[in-house]
Structure 1
Amino acid sequence: MTAATDASSAPAERELLTGEAVALDVRPASYLLRAAGTIIDWLTYLLIMFGCLMLLVATGGGLDGALVRALVILILVFGMVILPTTIELATRGRSLGKLAVGARIVRDDGGAIGFRHAFIRALAGVLEIFMTFGGIAALTGLLSTRSKRLGDLMAGAYSQLERVPKARPLDLYLAPQLAGWAQTADVARLPDRLSRRIAQFVRQAPQLTPAARVGLSTELAREASAYVSPLPPVDAETFLVGVAVLRRQRDTRALQLEHDRLDRLTPVLDALPHAFPDR
């Protein structure tokens, strides 16, 4: 029961609801990707600050000591707060590290971040990244379902993965014993999220271990059985393949009918009213 609750709460955490209560399936960047992007940004800012300090040492020999200390503090503030805030604000949540891992910082509702979000994240980064060498950020990211660091929690933002792998075509065939069942089966009530999970399992099943394959197919078949009628007397994986094939066929048929309907309406929509000449 606990495992089922955790499995259902994890997708809910990644689910984004629009103003029309439509759920969007967005993918937060993983912990390792976030760590890699943060390290790249951290090294970049350190190199910039080190270069500014070296320039100050080379050209500021005749400056007053108090002025030198003030310039050093200004360089540190620039490299740790001003520069990260400006870059994220100008690129709408992107930076060198996030470009490298294919991620972007967005608000919790999926919108682009503003000055407040970028400034809070940069200000919190002074403590959790620079002063503790990333220790607080690493610990907070491990405890968060979206790999949020402390600055993300304070600003109400997270790192969204934008570089997703290209979908590969899935070749599925209906088992012969399901031919009669497919004529009367109803899979229209199957939720889109569950349908995608079933398709993902069918695609990855050959790479799974036998125990994991049986366990996942049994769990998915149990969830799908509440939305499929009638239930065929076959094993869980064969049932899931049949559901995936039937769902794809009916979705394809619906899209084709919509395309045909639009083709029939195209002459009417493009024509001028009352045979008015096209000038």
Structure 2
Amino acid sequence: MAQMPSRALAIVIDLVVQFTAMVGAYALLGAFAGVTDMAMFSAVMIVLLVLVMIGYPVIFESLTRGRSLGKLALGLRVVSDDGSPERFRQALFRGLAGLVEFWVLAGAPAVIASLVSQRGKRLGDVFAGTIVISDRAPRDTGQVIMMPPPLANWATTLELSQLPDDVAQAARQYLLRWPDLSPQVQHEMGVRISTQVASFVSPAAPAGTPPYAYLSAVLAERRRREQARFAQRAGNGGAPHGPYAQPGPPPPVPQPGPYGPPPPAAARPLPGPPAAPAPEPPRATPGGFAPPQ
């Protein structure tokens, strides 16, 4: 939920832009006042006033999904109460209410309603069913999503290959902003985002798992697997190995028949000179003397 000072500054920026546009329109019409009648001049002026006061916020918020120039500068966005993007009907209600709140009553109803509302809503937000949130990432972008211990074993069985990066990023932003949201917004946005994540992830979470814990387990397990893959590749010098290795050519298969492959060199006898015949055993001579060797 956006803070009151940032919302007020965004409104001031939008009012300055609108006032500047009206001054430019008056100056442009003044140049043609002498060549047209008063009725046409008044009609064109009313149309321009309506476009500046109502058309500006409605057109900008419809085309940019909830952001006017002031909100864009301050990193704010208008969303529905359930966290979905703002629709044209809601932008129109906000624009019509803003005409009364800011241009007719000088912003007093908007300030009072924002101070009274627990969610900081002005009258336009109450009528349109919207809320203004901060659209910028938290300062601590390196914060790690922790694994809930009761879901650690279940998380190892998850199939996460179909989870899109933008859906995972939306879940991460919700978890990082969770402490700043009101309990009702925590529950509504948690149910919507966890339902979206569950359409890409299986198996289903254990019964009774709150959305915050479910999303924390999914993102923590996804990060753990990414780190494991990175460490595995870095440990092999960047070359693929394991289940991602490219298989090499199979060894040659010996062909059957009389002309099979020769035995290895270590098993083959080395050629050499023919062996000398074995000497005959000495024969005894008379007198008991053996012949000389």
TM-score (norm 2): 0.51
1:45 paired to 2:18: yes
Say which of 14, 30, 53 aligns to 1:80.
53
Alignment of 1:28-177 (within 5 A): 28-167=1-140
Could you say what secondary structure the match of 2:82 adopts? Answer: coil
Letter paired with 1:60: A
User: How far does the alpha carbon of each residue in 1:53-106 deviate from its partner, in whole angstroms, 9 at most, with x for none?
Assistant: 121112222321111211121111111111221111111111111012111111
Which residue does 2:212 correspond to in 1? none
Distance 1:142 1:270, change over 3 A: farther
Cα distance in 2 between the residues matched to 1:36 and 1:90: 21
C-alpha contact (below 8 Å) 1:124/1:150 kept by paired residues? yes
* CA RMSD across the alignment: 3.7
Distance 1:269 1:156, change over 3 A: farther
TM-score (norm 1): 0.53
Letter paired with 1:151: G
C-alpha contact (below 8 Å) 1:30/1:146 kept by paired residues? no
Cα distance in 2 between the residues matched to 1:252 and 1:45: 46
Could you say what secondary structure the match of 1:61 adopts? Answer: helix
Letter paired with 1:90: L
User: How far does the alpha carbon of each residue in 1:127-157 deviate from its partner, in whole angstroms, 9 at most, with x for none?
Assistant: 0111111111111111122221111111111
Letter paired with 1:150: L
Distance 1:87 1:169, change over 3 A: closer
Letter paired with 2:45: V
Show structure 1 runs of 5+ residues with no match: 1-27, 171-186, 198-250
Structure 1 residue 271: Cα displacement: 7.4
Letter paired with 2:3: S
Sequence identity (%): 36
Distance 1:259 1:152, change over 3 A: same
Structure 1 residue 114: Cα displacement: 1.6
Which residue does 1:225 correspond to in 2? none
Q: How many residues align?
A: 176
Distance 1:156 1:68, change over 3 A: same
Cα distance in 1 between the residues matched to 2:245 and 2:98: 56
Show structure 2 runs of 5+ residues with no match: 152-174, 180-218, 234-240, 251-293
Moved more, 89-98 or 158-167: 158-167
Quick check: which one's helix share is greater?
1
Larger radius of gyration between Structure 1 and Structure 2: 2
User: How far does the alpha carbon of each residue in 1:200-232 deviate from its partner, in whole angstroms, 9 at most, with x for none?
Assistant: xxxxxxxxxxxxxxxxxxxxxxxxxxxxxxxxx
Alignment of 1:228-239 (within 5 A): none
Cα distance in 2 between the residues matched to 1:269 and 1:252: 24
